[in-house]
Amino acid sequence: MKEVTLEVNGKKVTKQIQDHTLLSTFVRDQLNLTGTHIGCDTSQCGACVVHVDGKSVKSCTLLVADIDGSKVTTIEGLSQNGELHPMQAAFKKHHGLQCGYCTPGMIMSSVDLLQNKKNPSDEEIREWLEGNICRCTGYQNIVAAVKEAAKNS
């Protein structure tokens, strides 16, 4: 067991964890932040993407023990003061989600894309999201949503 302190969605949390605790299970099971989803066991699907120190990462690939002291933002921490983040609003406007399961990871990943590139082309959006699998939407409305968010950011 090891004690770690993280800043999660703006709040400091100190918890006892096992050495092998993954960030994905930590936020779900220990912090009850169930918006981060687990869709595979091979770090392929991207449903668990969160931000660690501002960058998107598949939370199933990180040991909590390795990120002691980091700032973590999950989907629950994206909207501020009750206002949807422009990416969240764009996903709603463009019907960029259906069952909603991949959506938190998809949004967190897309937000990071715009941090790296202000006005990505369709092709750049599709390439960036290659690590996020969606089975419902066929991706087209997700691409439209990211473009809209780029316009409004």
Tokens of 114: 């715009």
**H/E element, 17:** strand 11-17
Query: Can you spell out the DSSP letters for 46-101?
Result: -TTEEEETTEEEEGGG-BGGGGTT-EEE-GGGTSBTTBPPHHHHHHHHTT--SS-S
Instruction: Please give the residue ranges that form the binding site for other proteins (CB under 8 A).
Output: 28, 32-42, 44-45, 47, 74-76, 78-79, 84, 88, 91-93, 95, 97-104, 107, 122-123, 125-127, 129-130, 132-143
CB of 69 to other proteins, least distance (A): 24
Cα–Cα separations (whole angstroms), residue 148 to 26, 57, 108, 143, 152: 33, 23, 15, 9, 6
Q: Kindly tell me which of 1 and 69 has the beta carbon lying closer to other proteins.
A: 1
CB of 48 to other proteins, least distance (A): 11
Q: Kindly tell me which of 69 and 128 has the beta carbon lying closer to other proteins.
A: 128
Q: Kindly tell me which of 69 and 83 has the beta carbon lying closer to other proteins.
A: 83
CB of 101 to other proteins, least distance (A): 3
Q: Kindly tell me which of 70 and 132 has the beta carbon lying closer to other proteins.
A: 132
**What letter does residue 116 receive in the DSSP assignment?**
H
